Amino acid sequence: MRNNNWKKKNNPKISDESKIILVSTAVYSIILIALYIYSTYINTGFEIIISDQIIFFNRGIAIIDGLLPYRDVSVDAASLSPYLWAPIVFLSMFLTGNYSTDFVTSDNYFLNESMMISSYIFRIFFAFCLIISALLLYRLVHKRNNKNALNITLLYILNPFFLYLFSFWGSDECLLPLLILLPIYLYERGNNTLATFSIILGAGFKYFPILLAPLVWIYSKDWKERSLQTLLFLIGLTAISLPFYLIAPAAFINQFKNPVVAPGNQGLFTLIQNFSSTDINQYNLVIQIVTMSLILLAGLFFFLKKGVWKYHKTIVFLIIFFVIYPKIQVSYFAMIIPFTSICVFTEGKIKWSFLLYYILGTTLGEASDYLLAETQQLLYLEVLCWFSLGLFYVTSLLFIIYFLFINKRNGSANNSESIGQTSS
């Protein structure tokens, strides 16, 4: 009876939501203005456009030019993602009056006015996604009568990682919190069909929302709804993938064949490969199957023990992904920041563990490429990096065990959730 939790007395305060929008908009605007001043007048050699934005721009150009992903243009991403970039690219064309559909490269992008404006429009769009995700987080936390809802949300939206991610980096990983929180928010409201659809649509832009698949069962009331939602989920994923596969089967499948152990991949299997003679790359498909199987098993655990389910335990699925994913990509930590933000305001040792996990992950994501690069011959730095990497995975496994089997004390956030559920 989750709908009953959304009683009028528990509706979020408009004033709080206004504060979130005003504060985040003001801070994000100041940062973008500072970035423009810095790159234009102070450090003219600063590369305002990252390689990913060049990829986004070219994929948007391809759609505007009538080309099909995979068949006509290389796309190493979810099938609908080029269609997300097309409106942004078209807007930049409109603003500059330059409707050229020529692709840009890392060498000539600065000659294209549309590309330059697109780089800022991308950042504004990413900032907008973060602000919307903050409002969703606020509503989720406020729904559970957590008095720290506003503080949690402000901590979340003003996280230095986000400030860097959308501005100097300008990465599309800013989409991840929104794509993760929106289905959870809809499920918590009882809008199961819309929530399942949001997972499907999100998977069309970034594949990561598929990690939320267990929620389809966890939030279903009975087997009839469970069956219908599962069918909708499978049909939806097929609908956004099958047409592109039929158009260009080899190119579509090729995006899933990236080597597990490769330059820039400093994940668990690279660690194993470093200290063994096993060719991990031959198990690429097996690793992907194992990853999804473990996520589904964790979901089955929560399904069988619905009495202990709290929405923030979704982090288990995300941590399992991090444990087995071939590399530590620092920007992917955008997915877990909503959950770490909540735990900072909980009681007990768990909040310090979350901070350790977040600091380890983001630090390794930045440092691994440098410390483990082939050009570096400093053995002590390499040993230190592998030690930290191992500590990160140990911490990850402890989190999974904690949320699945212990979790007796989740602090004020969880206690308030229990109160909210009892009152319903």
Residue 295 contacts residue 216 (beta carbons within 8 Å):
no
Please report the pLDDT score of residue 22 as a whole number. Answer: 95
Angle (nearest 5°) at CA 260 between 259 and 262: 70
More confident residue, 1 or 48: 48
Please report the pLDDT score of residue 234 as a whole number. Answer: 96
Please report the pLDDT score of residue 87 as a whole number. Answer: 96
209 Cβ partners below 8 Å, 6+ apart? 179, 180, 183, 198, 199, 202, 203
Q: Which two tokens stand for residue 169?
A: 């980096």
More confident residue, 354 or 251: 251
Q: Tell me if residue 373 falls in helix, strand or coil.
A: coil
> Is residue 314 in some structural domain?
yes
Burial of 163 (0-12, 13-18, 19+ CB in 10 A): middle
> Is residue 359 in some structural domain?
yes
> Is residue 348 in some structural domain?
yes
Domain that holds residue 361: 258-424
The string of pLDDT tens digits covering residues 277-328 is 778 888 888 888 999 999 999 999 999 988 888 898 999 999 999 888 877 7
pTM score: 0.88
The string of pLDDT tens digits covering residues 23-62 is 999 999 999 999 999 988 988 878 888 888 999 999 999 9
Number of domains within the chain: 1
| Mean pLDDT along residues 349-372 | 72
More confident residue, 275 or 34: 34
| Mean pLDDT along residues 355-376 | 69
> Is residue 129 in some structural domain?
no
The string of pLDDT tens digits covering residues 200-225 is 999 999 999 999 999 999 999 999 99
Please report the pLDDT score of residue 202 as a whole number. Answer: 96
Residue 59 dihedral angles phi and psi, to the nearest 5°: -70, -40
Please report the pLDDT score of residue 280 as a whole number. Answer: 86
> Is residue 285 in some structural domain?
yes
Please report the pLDDT score of residue 397 as a whole number. Answer: 87
Please report the pLDDT score of residue 135 as a whole number. Answer: 96
| Residue pointed to by tokens 């509706």 | 11
More confident residue, 341 or 410: 341
> Is residue 31 in some structural domain?
no
> Is residue 209 in some structural domain?
no
**Long-range interactions of 86-94: CB distance < 8 A, separation 24+:** 86/59, 86/60, 87/60, 88/56, 88/60, 88/118, 88/121, 88/122, 88/125, 89/56, 89/57, 89/60, 89/61, 89/64, 89/114, 89/118, 90/60, 90/64, 91/121, 92/117, 92/118, 92/121, 93/64
| Residue pointed to by tokens 């206004």 | 18
Please report the pLDDT score of residue 2 as a whole number. Answer: 54
| Mean pLDDT along residues 113-133 | 94
Residue 348 dihedral angles phi and psi, to the nearest 5°: 85, -175
For the chain, give the mean pLDDT. 85
> Is residue 372 in some structural domain?
yes
Percent of the chain residues topping a pLDDT of 70: 87
Least confident stretch, 191-200, 213-222, 269-278, 406-415: 406-415
Please report the pLDDT score of residue 279 as a whole number. Answer: 83
pLDDT at 418 over 60: no
